[in-house]
Homo-oligomer: A and B are copies of this chain.
Amino acid sequence: MSVAHLHQIRVRYAETDQMGVAHHSACVAWLEEARIEWLRARGRSYRELEAGGLLMPVVELSIRYFKTLRFDDVATLSTTAVCPGPTRITFTTAVLIGEQRCLEGVVTVAAVDPSGRPVRIPPDLRS
């Protein structure tokens, strides 16, 4: 059973739109930040992974929006991950304010080398 990794963000003013809420695109960068912090919590720097030739481009992304987030809100991103195959990781991140789930994102990344060929996810990231 996977333990969720927790990360906090605060909604930036630049991330709002004229509906007075966080624009629906803003969370895409939050989800990415949560994945990078998930890796760091596993002892992995994504910067170093890339420098070492392991890239993780996004191949699929889906987000369901339940409740709007507002400027200056502090939200918790709760992330779990599974490997649907030897060269992919799927991250599921809930963005919460208190107990309220505001949105949920599911993002699949592919592990590739700099030329774009699939490579195996390192064992320590697969368990």
Report chain B residues within 8 Å CB of A57. Answer: 19, 21, 24, 65, 68
Please judge, given known A-B contacts A16-B17, A18-B13, whether A58 and B65 are in contact too, CB under 8 Å: yes
Please judge, given known A-B contacts A46-B72, A47-B72, whether A32 and B14 are in contact too, CB under 8 Å: yes
* A116 → chain B closest CB, angstroms: 9
Report chain B residues within 8 Å CB of A24. Answer: 28, 57-58, 61
Which among B13, B21, B60 is the interface contact of A63 at CB below 8 angstroms? B60
Mask for A65-87, Cβ within 8 A of B = 1, else 0?
A: 10010111000000000000000
- Kindly state the interface size class of chain A when it binds its partner: 35 or more
Q: How many copies does the complex hold?
A: 4
Which among B23, B29, B61 is the interface contact of A62 at CB below 8 angstroms? B61
Report chain B residues within 8 Å CB of A15. Answer: 29
